[in-house]
Chain A
Amino acid sequence: MHRAIFPALFAAGVTFLLTCLVVGIRLEQEGASLTVVGADAETWGWIAFAVIGVFLVQLLQQPLQRLRQRLPTADITGLLPNEMLLHRLKPWLIALVVSGLLVWPFMVSRGAVDLATLTLIYVMLGLGLNIVVGFAGLLDLGYVAFYAVGAYTYALLSEYYGLSFWMSLPLAGLLAAVFGCLLGFPVLRLRGDYLAIVTLGFGEIIRILLNNWTSLTGGPNGIGGIDKPSLFGLEFSRRASEGSQTFHEFFDIDYSSGHKVIFLYLVAVLLVLLTIYIINRIQRMPLGRAWEALREDEIACRSLGLNPTVIKLSAFTLGASFAGFAGCFFAARQGFISPESFTFIESAIILAIVVLGGMGSQMGVICAAIAMTILPELAREFQEYRMLMFGGVMVLMMLWRPQGLLPMKRPHLELKTS
């Protein structure tokens, strides 16, 4: 207790200073000059409350911690049925989830479906970045650049060449992959912090390039009027453009803007399922094992004849291509994109999804992506406190489960001998 009193006093003092400067005093303009105005009594009351709170928490930290240790720690994995059963149930569970995903949008509001679509985009981005950060262990802070490349690929192809979404999708993935490869080459000799900084810089370069290349990208004004995806040529607009047909005319039903929202959602589901499938396959292939080995010990990899450069490059390229797909879909969904959608905060959010989910764990990444997009929406009522709550949740998460929501369980690899 005695030893805790000085740190507690110190923390309270810091809190007091900070809160005073931030909310306690204000600069107000009176005519031409600025005057310092103190806050009202209520605010001071809150400040006192905060200072005392910090003091007490710091003072009682040790008893509190002991209490916390006695509390049972949450272990989600313990709630799952045992492995054998899970294995047998797996196909059924997957079928259940997939059919749920497909049926669900017809029963809820348009807003909810829209939000779900956004969530799915983040799921895809999280899964893609998970390859780079979770599997290969390369910290990439500029992942949003590939997302931007994908989005602009579709936007530009559609604007200048009138290419459809489905035509552009593979091209967007391909181009993003090329960019991933291009970035990969120079940075592969870097490790850890250095790699992070260079990728961060790359992300910004792409954004600034998009912002300033006005003649091609429209600069900060962005690109608008991007076509929505069509269903085998059927459009989801009220009136068909020349030479094509609309969905509601073809099926002879009333036009509803909800159709389009649900269709976009279904496309997103399809893309996410495809992403999960592909990544799962790759994870079980030698390439997946090589990523894992590289993350663990580069010297060992080298001594076994694996080429670290190729392995890293493949992770970068593959991760980037998924961002490209996600970007292409994003552009189609928004109908309008501008460099503002691809700022650093996006990279940070995607990285947070990967870390929160438990690096390398696909299930975890999906859960985290859902939490990261839905929580801010739920907290919308709290308006300006939203980001504060968001930060708070993150800090609590890291205290509660530093290894992430669902830490990676590596697929066990067996040598099948017939």
Chain B
Amino acid sequence: MLKLDNVSTFYGKIQALHHVSLEINRGEILTLIGANGAGKTTLMMTICGTPRAQSGHIVFDGRPIQQMKTSDIMRQGLAVVPEGRHIFSAMTVEENLLMGSFFRSRNEAAAQLDHVLTLFPRLKERFNQRGGTMSGGEQQMLAIGRALMSQPRLLLLDEPSLGLAPLVIQQIFEIIERLREEGVTIFLVEQNAHQALRIADRGYVLENGSIVMSGSGDALLNDDNVRKAYLGG
């Protein structure tokens, strides 16, 4: 579905990604793990076009997207939940969600709104609350819900568990699995390697801007090197 081929990204002179190649298949959960500063966020945002890949190819659904404008890429059927949520804090939950379906018709938006609210009953309870006054977990749900409002085929999630309590993380991961059942392909970047790999079909390990390992979720979970580096022994 999405294919990165030999992608390199630079911040000025600093190279953040070194010839990264990676493939996401339709209907799977793909997890990317790596230490702080490994370049996970960079990789995800390179797919979205900011920063732009300096070399290599990015193909989404058979269409090269590495030269497209970010705003155009984001309308191709992929959605991103950026690191740090970035919800609109002065807008209500409802308005936040509707911003997600900005390019959809009213009817589509209404249908998708119902769907998102059944996925996140919590958001329904808080429907008229301002985004900024919600708890961290609720904000994360809102961010995911907002991304889903555009009915994406591919959802990119950057550390959805950041700063959340274990129970809330559990809920979020359950929802991610449920999305897969509904046919949404998911690219998940996580620090929380254990849980992320457990639900993942496949995983990649990123180190200093290069992919150093890949395999099925279980294989990575049981790999000695991965255990040592990311799962605490």
Contact = CB atoms under 8 A, between A and B. Distances in A.
Contacts of A307: 69, 71
A295 to B, nearest CB: 9
Given A286-B102, A302-B70, A293 B75 contact: no
B88 A293 contact: yes
Given A296-B89, A415-B106, A417-B110, A303 B99 contact: no
Interface stretch (B15-23, B90-98, B163-171, B173-181): B90-98
Given A299-B82, A413-B95, A417-B110, A304 B87 contact: no
A303 B85 CA distance: 11
B107 A302 contact: no
A290 interface: yes
B11 interface: no
A302 B69 CA distance: 10
Interface string B56-94: 000000000000011111110001111000111111101
Given A296-B88, A413-B98, A415-B98, A302 B110 contact: no
A70 interface: no
A312 to B, nearest CB: 13
Contacts of B109: 415
B82 A304 contact: no
Contacts of A293: 88, 91, 99
Contacts of A266: none
Given A292-B91, A307-B71, A302 B99 contact: no
Interface string A277-315: 000000000100110110011011011111110100000
Contacts of A297: 86-89
Contacts of B86: 297, 299-300, 303
A304 B50 contact: no
B184 interface: no
A225 to B, nearest CB: 49
B87 A300 contact: yes
A290 B69 CA distance: 18
B102 A304 contact: yes
A410 interface: yes
Given A296-B88, A296-B90, A289 B99 contact: yes
Interface in B90-123: 90-92, 94-95, 98-100, 102-103, 106-107, 109-110, 113
Contacts of A292: 88, 90-91
A416 interface: yes
Contact of A305 (B50, B71, B90): B71
Given A292-B91, A293-B88, A300-B87, A417 B107 contact: yes
A399 to B, nearest CB: 24
Contact of B146 (A286, A304, A416, A417): A304
Nearest to A311: B71
Given A299-B82, A415-B110, A415-B113, A304 B74 contact: yes
Interface in B150-205: 150
Interface string A52-83: 00000000000000000000000000000000
Contacts of A308: 71
Nearest to B149: A304
Nearest to A300: B86
A253 to B, nearest CB: 54
Nearest to B95: A413
B103 A303 contact: no
B80 A303 contact: yes
B113 A300 contact: no
A289 B103 CA distance: 12
Report which residue of A296, A300, A413 has the largest number of chain B beta carbons within 10 angstroms of its beta carbon.
Answer: A300
A300 B71 contact: no
B33 interface: no
Interface in A244-301: 286, 289-290, 292-293, 296-297, 299-300
Contacts of B69: 307
A302 B87 contact: no
Contacts of A310: 71
B224 to A, nearest CB: 37
Interface string A385-418: 0000000000000000000000000101111110
Nearest to A415: B110
Nearest to B50: A302
A290 B102 CA distance: 9
Contacts of B107: 417
Given A296-B89, A413-B95, A305 B113 contact: no
Contacts of B81: 303
A173 B82 CA distance: 40
27 contacts: A289-B95, A289-B102, A292-B88, A292-B91, A293-B88, A293-B99, A296-B91, A297-B86, A297-B89, A300-B88, A300-B99, A302-B71, A302-B74, A303-B74, A303-B80, A303-B81, A303-B82, A303-B86, A304-B79, A304-B147, A304-B150, A305-B71, A305-B103, A305-B150, A415-B94, A415-B98, A417-B106
Interface of A: 286, 289-290, 292-293, 296-297, 299-300, 302-308, 310, 410, 412-417
Given A299-B86, A304-B99, A417-B107, 14 more contacts: A293-B99, A299-B82, A300-B87, A304-B146, A304-B147, A304-B150, A308-B71, A310-B71, A410-B90, A412-B95, A414-B94, A415-B110, A415-B113, A417-B106
Interface of B: 48, 50, 69-75, 79-82, 86-92, 94-95, 98-100, 102-103, 106-107, 109-110, 113, 146-147, 150
